[in-house]
């Protein structure tokens, strides 16, 4: 009787031990898998960003977007394009304010920038459509056009009447965003 009882206890202890060890093994494997995925995504973002003109900006922008964690290359391009549309639209509105506040002789500058940003927004909207149709070559052309137009807007302030550009940071920002799209679409094409 005592022997049977002891055998039962040993059996139960063994069972509990097996259960615990098997469940910790599963958890450990799950955690490792999760960590590997995160690691891959992070180095992937860095690898993509290393082909852009502003690596730190690119890494910051993409890593601070929650969608990045589950994105592939196409997804990163869509995120950049999406942020670029939002940013360019915001700047377009800001330019309208600047235009309304400007002296008569400076209004031309803001009018030119407003036109540039109209094209920029149109470029990004077309780029979204081209991405959907896997036309990455055309996406790349549109992204580069946006970069050039942001720099056109910046250069407007170098013609008379020469004033300090109030759009330097925004133009640079927009160009950096468009450059992410350019780098991604180049890789995809």
Ligand X SMILES: *[C@@H]1O[C@H](CO)[C@@H](O)[C@H](O)[C@H]1NC(C)=O
Q: List residues near ligand X by CB under 6 A.
A: 61, 83, 87, 90, 94, 97-98, 101, 169-170, 173, 177
- Closest approach, Cβ 183 to ligand X, in A, equals 15
What does the radius of gyration of the chain's CA atoms come to, in whole angstroms?
27
Burial of 41-63, coded b for 16+ CB within 10 Å and e otherwise, reads: beebbeebbeebebeebbbebbe
Q: Which is nearer to ligand X, 83 or 184 (CB)?
A: 83
Q: Which is nearer to ligand X, 88 or 188 (CB)?
A: 88
- Closest approach, Cβ 181 to ligand X, in A, equals 12
- Closest approach, Cβ 31 to ligand X, in A, equals 32
Residue whose C-alpha is closest to residue 81's, from 177, 10, 3: 177
- Closest approach, Cβ 88 to ligand X, in A, equals 9
What is the Cα–Cα distance from 164 to 158, expressed in whole angstroms?
8
Q: Which is nearer to ligand X, 101 or 189 (CB)?
A: 101
- Number of neighbouring beta carbons within 10 Å of residue 181: 31
Q: Which is nearer to ligand X, 135 or 177 (CB)?
A: 177
């Amino acid at each position: 009787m005592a022997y049977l009882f002891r055998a039962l206890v040993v059996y139960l202890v063994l069972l509990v031990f097996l259960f615990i060890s098997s469940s910790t093994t599963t958890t450990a494997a799950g955690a490792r898998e999760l960590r590997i995925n995160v690691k891959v995504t992070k180095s992937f973002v860095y690898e993509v960003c290393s082909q852009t003109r502003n690596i730190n900006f690119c890494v910051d922008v993409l890593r601070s977007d929650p969608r990045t964690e589950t994105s592939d290359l196409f997804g990163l391009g869509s995120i950049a394009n999406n942020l670029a549309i939002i940013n360019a639209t915001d700047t377009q509105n800001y330019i309208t304010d600047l235009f309304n506040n400007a002296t008569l002789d400076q209004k031309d500058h803001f009018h030119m920038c407003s036109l540039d940003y109209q094209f920029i927004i149109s470029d990004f909207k077309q780029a979204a459509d081209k991405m959907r149709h896997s036309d990455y070559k055309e996406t790349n052309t549109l992204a580069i056009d946006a970069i050039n137009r942001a720099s056109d807007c910046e250069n407007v302030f170098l013609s008379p009447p020469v004033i300090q550009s109030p759009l330097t940071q925004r133009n640079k920002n927009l160009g950096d965003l468009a450059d992410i799209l350019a780098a991604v679409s180049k890789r995809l094409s």
